[in-house]
A and B are shown apart, each in its own frame.
Chain A
Amino acid sequence: MEKAAADPELRQALRRAAWNARLAIRRALGQAPLAELAREVREAKRRVLENLDHYIEEARRSLERNGARVHLASTGEEALEAIASIVGSGKTVVLSKTMTGEEIRLREHLEKLGNRVYETDLGQLLVQLEGGTPSHIIAPAVHISRRRAARLVAEKLGAPIDAEAEPEEIVAAVREKLRRIFVEADVGVTGANALAADTGSLVMVENEGNIRLVSGLPPVHIALVGVEKIMPTLIEAVKAAIVQAGYAGLYPPTYINIVSGPSSTADIEHHRVRGAHGPRELHVVLLDNGRRRALRDPLLRDALRCVRCGRCLFECPVWSQAGPAWGGRAYKGSMGVAWTAITESEELAGELAYACTQCRACDTACPMEIPLSSIIHELRARHANRLLGRSPQQRS
């Protein structure tokens, strides 16, 4: 992290990204009653977290009713196994940016099994090409400059562009390369911003248009969803997606995708045939991986309300200097410290917590009112106890 903070190019890129995002978020907040929507989403999330097992069961039943297959995974390994058993090997797999996938190292696992795996979100693809980790949950490649992006796309994808290529040329080259892969892909894997328990609908928000292709073109669609993403109703799930986009500074979102089951048609003699133009199979992998344990932990419980807008990162002085160096494998910045504790290691999160300035910018930024600075402070205290070999004290 110290090295990252001493890298002027990285700091410049992060600063610019944070500044632009802050302006975009401010514009979004002026454009729509997002604060009111955020309040509703907060309340809905509270309801779900108070009775999570009930909502998991309801979501499972709804999905199965729609013809989707549901896989409950307690750990990252179980999720990887479930997905591997669907995908197999020697396949072409397209991924939309999924932080939950990043959390369990899905891409690496599928590659190891002998599949050709392509990230389709441009930022995430650049991260894949450089062999790094994402900087930000919605802007994974903010640490990569235009020149570096051009070099990566030319060298690793074999696109005919040079290092001086303009962003438009880079985007066009990637589109050209991926278009064919989308059509050929055997399996598309997405995450989801929300999963409606009442209807079994996945809600996925995006701007690039890659999610609709990943979830719509290949014959098999797998959605990997953290159990905390469940919302009571479809309306509330859509609201969660809008809040996520708005507080990420992407308002209005270009696309909101709703997927409630495999595609089908009954146009011939009213006989239902699965697999029309969209996928014939929909698998939903519901991932726990520390989330239900966090629910029982009065400290980490609140962090489960996170909608992954990433606004706390854009406001954070530490993230805006150190970027991806401040975080665990998937989750960076202030929310990343809490989520590293939930999904990766409380010890690592404890170390990361010591780089927080406790400035509270994240607390005021969070539309879900997650007390991030308090969580980080307490993770510090737990880590200090661990380092000094003491048992923790409980405080209100």
Chain B
Amino acid sequence: MRLRELLTLVEEYMLRTGLPVPAPGDVAYRWALERGPRLPRRGRVYLYTGALYQLAPYIDAALEAWRRASRLPGSGLLARAAARLPVQGAVRPRRELVEWSLRVVSAAAGLAAEAVEGLAYLYEDDLYSGVILYDLGLDEAFARHAEKVWARLKSREVEEIVTLDPHTAHVMRDVYPRYVDGYSLTVRSYLEALDEAGWSPPDAGAGERVAVHDPCLYARGLNVVEQPRRLLRRAGYEPVDPPRSRGDTYCCGGPVRAVAPSLSNAIAAERIEELASTRARVIVTMCPICFLNLSRAAAGRGGLELRDIAELLAAARR
């Protein structure tokens, strides 16, 4: 029953709000208004975040609420009712995570703007990509939502997008073409764009060793492997690889958090061990799901710091 309830809930939220979990309506573009950079509204290439980084704190909170509700006695009706309650307000994201996501998206957008001259932003048309629907096997709901996203992108005459995370890059590059008639977009990760532009900050830092956690989709799906390493080196870091890295990378466990939390924790714990074995103090992530799951696993260990690559690169620029 639990799985059916999860699927039903996610579909319901999507139908009602266009988002897979309870979150504010402006969650996708709030960073632009509050933190900037204020990118132009029109241009040749658009930043499309797909809102995954921004939703990460709310996904985290919703899963926690869901976990609590599932534990209520007489799980059936009561739990269902409780789980339906958390429309905004009742699902309170951790403040530090919200702050983290604003910071990372703002930093990544700033970097993307450096890579692509005249990069524009979609603001209220930066709709959620629907990737969680796809991942959960909710094909019909995903197809409907993808049509909506494509219609919106078409209305803005978007032909090329730059994305921030591997899931959105994958779904926009490889999955939309199979679900949406007439879909045609050039999709690049901002890391690819930065690397192609030969991005390099003027005063590179002091060569701190940082352990690279390759997200599965970048490493095995989109071939974004060398670019982040080159960028880190140019920014003055010394990227080091854990035993399993690049095309051989090991999952963070995040994608199964909703369905199998213990399994998800166990995978993350093993990955953190491997990353820690590099003896680097800083672990670099490039995906909000990896960040969430690995930081949970690293929380009990002292001396490890998880940083998103956007923050590291942006810090080197200052």
Instruction: Fill in one digit per residue for A1-14: 1 if any B CB lies within 8 Å of its CB, else 0.
Output: 11101100001000
B140 within 8 A of A: yes
Given contacts A11-B266, A317-B251, contact A360 B139 (CB under 8 A): no
Contact A5 B178 (CB under 8 A): no
Q: Which residues of B contact A355 (CB under 8 A)?
A: 256, 259-260, 263
* Contact flag A359-B262 (CB < 8 Å), given A15-B270, A380-B136: no
Residues of B in contact (CB 8 Å), total: 36
Q: Is A318 a contact partner of B7 (Cβ separation < 8 A)?
A: no
Docked complex Cα distance between A380 and B134 (Å): 10
CB of B267 within 8 A of CB of A318, answer yes
A2 in contact with B262 (CB, 8 Å): yes
Q: Which of B111-164 contact A (CB under 8 A)?
A: 135-140, 143
Looking across the interface, which residue of chain B has its beta carbon closest to that of A326? B263
Question: Is the CB–CB distance between B8 and A388 below 8 Å?
Answer: yes
Distance between Cα atoms of A388 and B3 in the complex (Å): 10
* Nearest CB of chain A from residue B224's CB, rounded to whole Å: 14
Which of A5, A11, A320, A377 is the one whose CB lies under 8 Å from B260?
A: A5
Please report the C-alpha to C-alpha distance between residue A309 and residue B255 in the assembled complex, in whole angstroms.
Answer: 26
B216 at the interface (CB under 8 A from A): yes
Is B40 part of the contact surface with A, judged by Cβ < 8 Å?
Answer: no
**Interface contact B139-A356, CB-CB below 8 Å:** no
A381 within 8 A of B: yes
Instruction: Tell me the count of chain A residues lying within 8 A, CB to CB, of chain B.
Output: 38
CB pair A356–B266 under 8 Å, yes or no, is no
CB neighbours (8 Å) of B42 from chain A are none
Query: Which of A353, A359, A363, A387 has the most CB atoms of chain B within a 10 A radius of its CB?
Result: A359
Is A345 positioned at the interface, with any CB of B under 8 Å from its CB? no
In the complex the two chains form, what is the Cα distance from A380 to B216 in whole Å?
Answer: 19
Give the complex CA separation of A357 and B259 in angstroms. Answer: 10
Q: Residue-by-residue, is B248-266 near A (CB-CB < 8 Å gives 1, otherwise 0)?
A: 1111011110011111011
**A393–B139 CB distance below 8 A:** yes
Q: Which of A345-360 contact B (CB under 8 A)?
A: 351, 353-360
Structural contact, B216 and A357, CB atoms closer than 8 A: yes
Q: Write out the residue numbers on chain A whose beta carbons fall within 8 Å of the beta carbon of B138.
A: 381, 384
Asked if B143 and A321 sit within 8 Å, CB to CB, the answer is no
A interface, over-half SS: helix
Residue from A15, A318, A358, A388 in contact with B135 in the complex, judged by beta carbons closer than 8 Å: A358
Whether B44 sits at the interface, judged by CB under 8 Å, is no
Task: Find out whether the CB atom of A387 lies under 8 angstroms from the CB atom of B7.
Answer: yes
Q: A1-B260, A2-B260, A395-B178 are in contact. Are A359 and B220 (CB under 8 A)?
A: yes
Which residues from chain B contact A390 at a C-beta distance below 8 Å?
A: 140
Q: What's the minimum C-beta distance from B219 to chain A, rounded to whole angstroms?
A: 9
Task: Give A383-394 as 1s and 0s: 1 = Cβ < 8 Å from B's Cβ atoms.
Answer: 111011010110
A264 near B: Cβ within 8 Å? no
Q: Is the CB of B256 within 8 A of A357?
A: yes
Q: A354-B3, A358-B255, A396-B178 are in contact. Are A1 and B263 (CB under 8 A)?
A: yes
A88 to B263, alpha carbons, bound, how many Å?
45
**A338 CB to nearest chain B CB (Å):** 15
* A364 at the B interface (CB under 8 A): yes
Closest to A360 in B: B220
Q: Does chain A have a CB within 8 A of B201?
A: no
B271's closest neighbor in chain A, by CB? A317
Partner of A384, one of B137, B249, B251, B256: B137
User: How far, in angstroms, from A387 to B11 measured CA to CA in the complex?
Assistant: 13
Q: Chain A's nearest CB lies how many Å from the CB of B131? A: 11
Q: Nearest Cβ in chain B — how far from A25, in angstroms?
A: 12
Query: How far apart are the CA atoms of A301 and B277 in the complex, in Å?
Result: 41
A5 CB, min distance to chain B CBs, angstroms: 4
Residue contact B251 to A357, C-beta cutoff 8 Å: yes
Task: Tell me if A161 is interfacial: C-beta within 8 Å of chain B.
Answer: no
- CB-contact partner of B7 in A1, A377, A384, A396, under 8 A: A384
Is A361 touching B261 in the complex (CB atoms < 8 A)? no
The 6 A-B residue pairs with the shortest CB-CB distance, nearest first, are A380-B137, A359-B251, A381-B137, A359-B216, A384-B137, A5-B263
With A321-B263, A357-B255, A385-B140 known, 10 other A-B pairs at CB within 8 A are A6-B262, A355-B256, A355-B259, A357-B267, A360-B216, A380-B136, A381-B139, A383-B137, A393-B139, A395-B178
- Name 20 interchain pairs, CB-CB below 8 A, sorted by A: A3-B262, A5-B263, A15-B270, A317-B270, A318-B256, A353-B137, A354-B256, A354-B260, A357-B255, A357-B267, A359-B216, A359-B251, A360-B216, A361-B220, A361-B250, A364-B247, A380-B137, A384-B136, A393-B139, A395-B139
